[in-house]
């Protein structure tokens, strides 16, 4: 890894997009944006019981994607062996209703990262970065992890070296001969929005700025 990685992610045999290749993106800016917009990823790996697809929280620091978990869990236990993994993040942005059945699609932003996870030595710094990803400023307010909690937790990361994104946006694309077919065409958007914060019934603390900011940008339920 260089400190200043190339802007482009050279496609490999695994990451070169073949289906609808014009939707492929191999630049780090797109990859970073897709990861940073996500709270969770799906991690695929194979162990002695088969192939698994496990959702887990994720965050990015520089050119790595991070996850964490309980030492004893299947995910951490097996990824810790240095086995191949694939991490995928998908944001669904809408249903694309075309004139022909065949050209129906979805608008989305997805990222796939291939590689092997490695354990992170400085768990304190990385878990603080996770907290920052959830709520900027909260790390200074919470009851920090104690030795027992840190000892029970593993933080792992995968390099953003072998990765590709796929992005579709915009209206349906129909064949010329279908354009006069009398059916509505367009996009039905889907958006992940914030809901109004739900305070714990036993909460006694004042509302911090990041919760107020969440409330200010929340949509009515």
Q: Which of residues 160-189 bind its own copies (CB under 8 A)?
A: 171-172, 178-189
The phi and psi torsions of 93 (rounded to 5 degrees) equal -110, -10
Tokens of 7: 């802007």
| Order of strands across the sheet that contains 64-70 | 59-61, 64-70, 153-159, 118-119
Cα(82)–Cα(117) distance, rounded to whole angstroms?
6
Q: By the 8 A CB rule, do 221 and 195 touch?
A: yes
Which span (2-10, 21-29, 58-66, 135-143) binds its own copies, by CB under 8 A?
A: 135-143
94 binds its own copies (CB under 8 A): yes
Give least dist CB 141 to its own copies, A: 4
Among 3, 13, 22, 147, binds its own copies (CB under 8 A): 13
23 binds its own copies (CB under 8 A): no
Among 24, 92, 129, 167, binds its own copies (CB under 8 A): 92
The phi and psi torsions of 200 (rounded to 5 degrees) equal -60, 135
List the interface residues with its own copies, window 33-52 (CB under 8 A): 39-40, 42-46, 49-52
Give least dist CB 164 to its own copies, A: 12
Contacts of residue 102, defined as CB under 8 A and 6 or more positions apart, other chains included, come to none
196 binds its own copies (CB under 8 A): yes
């Amino acid at each position: 890894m260089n400190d200043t990685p190339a802007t482009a992610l050279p496609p490999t045999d695994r990451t070169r997009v073949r289906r609808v290749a014009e939707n492929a993106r191999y630049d780090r800016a797109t990859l970073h944006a897709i990861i940073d917009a996500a709270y969770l990823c799906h991690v695929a790996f194979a162990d002695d019981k088969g192939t698994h697809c496990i959702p887990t929280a994720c965050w990015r620091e520089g050119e790595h994607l991070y996850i964490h978990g309980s030492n004893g869990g299947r995910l951490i236990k097996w990824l810790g062996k240095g086995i191949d993994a694939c991490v995928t993040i998908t944001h669904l942005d809408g249903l694309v209703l075309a004139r022909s059945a065949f050209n129906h699609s979805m608008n989305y932003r997805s990222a796939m990262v291939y590689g092997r996870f490695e354990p992170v030595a400085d768990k304190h710094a990385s878990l603080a970065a996770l907290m920052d990803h959830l709520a900027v400023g909260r790390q200074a307010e919470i009851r920090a992890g104690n030795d027992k909690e840190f000892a029970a937790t593993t933080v792992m990361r995968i390099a953003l070296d072998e990765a590709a994104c796929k992005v579709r946006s915009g209206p349906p694309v129909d064949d010329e001969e279908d354009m006069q077919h009398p059916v509505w065409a367009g996009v039905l958007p889907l958006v992940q929005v914030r809901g109004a914060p739900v305070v714990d019934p036993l909460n006694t603390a004042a509302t911090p700025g990041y919760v107020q900011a969440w409330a200010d940008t929340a949509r009515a339920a």
